[in-house]
A and B are shown apart, each in its own frame.
Chain A
Amino acid sequence: MSLDYVKFAPGFEQFMPKEYRDMVEHGPFGKKTTVSQMGSFKEILEEHPMCAGCAMTLFIRLAIIAFPNPEDTITVGTAGCGRLAISQAAIPFVYGNYGDQNGVASGLSRGLRLRFGDKPKDVVVIAGDGGTADIGFQQVLHSWFRKERFTTIMLDNEVYGNTGGQESGMTTRGAVLKMAPLGKKFEKMDMVTMAKVAGCSYIATVVPNNPRRVESVIKKAVLIARDIGPTYIQAYTSCNIEYAIPTDKVMEDAKTVEDDRYKFTEYVSDEAKAYLAERYGYKEFMPKAVSASVTTA
């Protein structure tokens, strides 16, 4: 872990912007911050240009707080609303081309492994439903089939929000949106099943109104991706503009959608369970017999 780069060069403190000073003095680098401490430290993503009431922004903030080593994390994304916020975070964000985020992340992850060996350099893709399931579909699936070791997070607002509200593959059937004037003709794509078929070691679906759960799944996904294989998180992050959800009802909508059709699900491969237990001490995944013997000892 190299933290020197976030420190001031001697004599430069007084000339650095206040935000930078806040990040060095009160930021999360090198500390174990949690979502329950929100408001008491300088977040890696604070100011952003997102719409009022945007659930996606809350999810991104939670996800970044959950990164196990933010000082050694690089995010990768593509066009979409999420990119507008993530590119303002105080960790690097790589934007390549439209829909190529999983290709870029494949190369980045391999390049960093060549250069840094076992030192963890976490690569996390954060892209929208259009970027992941439509234009980026081929590269997403192939990165999973190749067992590339990085995390893919889909910000699923079920619409092309950034371009003004067009249907995506993740839109539910029947929804009337731009480019679907008679309603979407086919079902929402089942990316979770595809992730399973393609060999992801960890898969979870979440909504943003349970911060501790978001934190938990992100942390597990990033840790597993270090050594075991690809991990996938699909998050319902509603677009309150295109779906006309009143700002004060956004969290209520998330709860309703969660209860109705976006339930929390989590798949952890046996190999990933053993890894989390042995490497990071996850008690929930420790073999029962081993736990008992540890207790006895």
Chain B
Amino acid sequence: MEPTSVIGTKNKKGQVFTDPRIMMREAPRTPSFYTGSEVIKEAIRRASIDVMIAYPITPQSEAAALIGELFAEGYIGDYFRGESEFAVMSQCAGAAFGGARVFTTTAGPGTMRAMENFPMWAGARLPIQCIVTCRGINSPLSIQPDTIEISYLMQTGMLVWHAETAQDFYDWILVGYMVSEEPEVHLPLALCCDGFFVTHTKDVVDLTPTDMCLPPYDPYRSPVPCMDMECPPVRMMRDPFIMKSNYISYATHASWQQEVWAAAERSRKHTIAWLNGLIETEDVEADVLIVTSGTAVSQGREAIRLLADEGIRVGLVKIKTLRPWPEEEIKEATKHATHIIVPEFNVIGWMAKEIKATIPRSERVIAGPRVCGGMTMPPEIIVEEIKRALGVRSGTLAGRG
């Protein structure tokens, strides 16, 4: 039976289901001045979402509420407020098991509260997209930007991308579904950004036309049966592996975990095509490189500009995807560098650890500067870190003795 294409037909709001390649790469863009939260809303307006489930937690509450407005306008199939992040992620799982395209958002302690769900989503091969607007998870309570939760998400089997700007966010929300829903991938995506810095600041973002939207999700392209009793063969399982303590059961679990991670690996080629590479580089012939992700990249750009004024040449590697991890790309981009500076918005320095584990001669990595708990990262402290590494004398920054 020939599948019937929906491309070119209209949804109930009059939006045309458009080939994503045309929508994202060829359609005219309109510059718009929006907050990050509003950008999330505008991306979701065009994403043909079936179900969005919301729960308030700073700094994602505004975006989650704005999507409620989209539901009221008729752009979303179903929307409601769950009773906790754990419940919301479970509800998202249920909707995805039933064959719906699902979207949600969370942050910080909400991410941690929901954590049991993320490896379950990956293992169940549910291509849910969860926006993570990172904030502190520590005690005493903090609502301020901090990226430590990403380090937990990276071990769940989900795809994990880290947006630098609102423009990244807009484009990646839309293409994220295209990567996640590939039959050979079919994994959830944690699309992360640095809370407040991206969600609550205004920026000019080039939007695709309002009257174009992504084609709807087809649950029958899933590599595992959709739980709708329409998908042959009917499932008959004897002796669930949970009950067995033998080699076969262990091997089954092991091979499935390996398959989940292999699926993340298989996302590379799709991600490279949609994001134009897993990393972006500038002047990697320089001896000194700043290598990081998120808004630390933006601060790095400022530091590079300040250093250029003093005649110090520094290159940049922006890491866009954390899972899959761009191992070969980072090795190649850093092969000439003598000093690799890794600024981060968290106390543990998970990015520096990942890079050290990737490249030869890891002593080249300088794991800092790091700020956390909501501290901002003035470009000057990156400048100072680089000068210290190069043995260049610099003026002492106020407050740093």
Contact = CB atoms under 8 A, between A and B. Distances in A.
Interface of A: 2, 4-6, 17, 19-20, 23, 47, 49, 71-74, 76, 84, 87-88, 90-92, 94, 96-98, 100, 103-112, 114-116, 121, 138-139, 142, 146
Given A23-B234, A146-B80, A2 B229 contact: yes
A15 to B, nearest CB: 12
Interface residues of B, number: 46
Nearest to B240: A87
Given A5-B230, A107-B51, A115 B238 contact: no
A202 B117 CA distance: 31
Contacts of B99: 111-112, 115
A104 B234 contact: no
15 contacts: A20-B233, A20-B236, A88-B238, A90-B236, A92-B235, A98-B116, A103-B94, A107-B94, A108-B95, A108-B98, A108-B227, A109-B94, A111-B102, A115-B228, A139-B90
Consensus secondary structure, chain B interface: loop
Given A90-B234, A111-B51, A111-B78, 15 more contacts: A20-B236, A74-B227, A76-B94, A91-B229, A94-B227, A96-B93, A97-B86, A97-B117, A100-B87, A107-B53, A107-B97, A110-B51, A110-B78, A111-B97, A114-B51
Interface string B47-89: 0001101000000000000000000000001101011101110
Contacts of B238: 19, 47, 88
Interface string B174-209: 000000000000000000000000000000000000
A23 B232 CA distance: 14
Nearest to B235: A92
A98 B120 CA distance: 11
B239 interface: yes
B346 to A, nearest CB: 26
A87 B237 contact: yes
Nearest to B227: A92
Given A91-B234, A103-B82, A110-B51, A115 B100 contact: yes
Contact of A96 (B53, B94, B98, B240): B94
Contact of A97 (B84, B120, B219, B242): B120
Contacts of B50: 111, 114-115
A4 to B, nearest CB: 7
Given A104-B97, A146-B80, A121 B228 contact: yes
B64 to A, nearest CB: 16
B118 to A, nearest CB: 10
